Amino acid sequence: MILDRNNKKEVIALLGAGGMGVAIVKRIAAGKKIFLGDISEKKLAEVASDFQYHGYDVETMVVDGCSKESVEAYAQKAAALGPVMYFIDSAGASPSQGKPEHIINLDLIGTSYAIDAFGKVMAEGGAGLIIASQTGYMGPNYDMETEMKLALTPTEELKDLDLLQAITRSGAAYILSKKVNQLRVRTAAATTWAQRRARINTISPGIIMTPVAYDEFQAPGNTYQNMIDQSAAKRVGTVDEIAYAGEFLLSPKSSFITGIDLLIDGGVIASLKTGIYQLGK
């Protein structure tokens, strides 16, 4: 069965076959080649099958998001499939899903590998989107020197920074990782991605109902429930709401937007910054 005989289709690379990334892809994928990367063969098969049943052209590749070599191979294969016009990175582990070292390796170092790798293969006019988190706004305010180190240190040397070495808790590792995602994207937008005439941004979702969110709801304490109760929206978000924003940031309608983070959290950070909500209470 050949569903699409068109050649030289634009490529959408999605690293991490999770709910938010998949929802974004579905909004932009008609007539394009979808290239899924994930560490789980089972997850790849499930998501690819769903795409195919709905008429999309999809290929898959097992990718270890913590491995520079694996991520670079994924980027090179994406470029071999056609012009890479879209890259979405939704790979990551939440605080309840991994130890601090694993979160740093995947959410921080691995994401930086992906930004680097796709910064070498994006087609002119292409756009990238990194799924970060509202938690990037929950950490301490770093001085300019520290922010510059986090933003500009070569990826291979990031792990050696004293700030990363000092992380001992999964929650702190996650918060720092998402802050660094935002900083690294800002840098890439002005340097490597700009050199290819491509754009890159981040989205920082709040509590969006995905399997990861369900895991966090089962974690000790009432952190998620307290965030919802003290937010302006008084509810969780949906993957479709993230997808609408993702579609816009990847589309030509946002061609003047690059290097920014879009916070989509229902007002949690607004409540936090004004003192209405306090972490841990």
Which among 140, 139, 116, 137 has a CA at the least distance from the CA of 128? 116
Q: Which of 4-13, 30-39, 225-234 has the highest mean pLDDT?
A: 30-39
d(CA 59, CA 82): 12
Mean pLDDT calculated for residue range 245-257? 97
pLDDT band of 221, cuts 50, 70, 90: low
Q: Which amino acid is at 233?
A: A
Mean pLDDT calculated for residue range 39-52? 96
Instruction: Write down the catalytic residue from 26, 32, 33, 178.
Output: 178
pLDDT band of 253, cuts 50, 70, 90: very high
Q: Can 178 be counted among the known catalytic residues? A: yes
Instruction: Write down the catalytic residue from 174, 179, 234, 277.
Output: 174
Superfamily of domain 11-207+237-266: NAD(P)-binding Rossmann-like Domain (3.40.50.720)
pLDDT band of 9, cuts 50, 70, 90: very high
What's the chain's average pLDDT?
92
Query: Helix or strand or coil: residue 219?
Result: coil
Say what the pLDDT of residue 216 is: 63
Whether the per-residue pLDDT at 218 is higher than 70: the answer is: no
d(CA 227, CA 21): 23
For the whole model, what pTM was predicted? Answer: 0.93
Question: Is the CA virtual torsion 21, 95, 110, 60 positive or negative?
Answer: negative
Say what the pLDDT of residue 93 is: 86
Whether the per-residue pLDDT at 5 is higher than 90: the answer is: no
pLDDT in tens, 154-201: 999 999 999 999 999 999 999 999 999 999 999 999 999 999 999 999
Say what the pLDDT of residue 73 is: 98
pLDDT in tens, 71-118: 999 999 999 999 999 999 999 888 878 899 999 999 999 999 999 999
Say what the pLDDT of residue 281 is: 58
Contacts for 115 with CB less than 8 Å, ≥ 6 apart: 89, 128, 130, 184, 185, 188, 193, 200
Say what the pLDDT of residue 4 is: 74
Say what the pLDDT of residue 95 is: 82
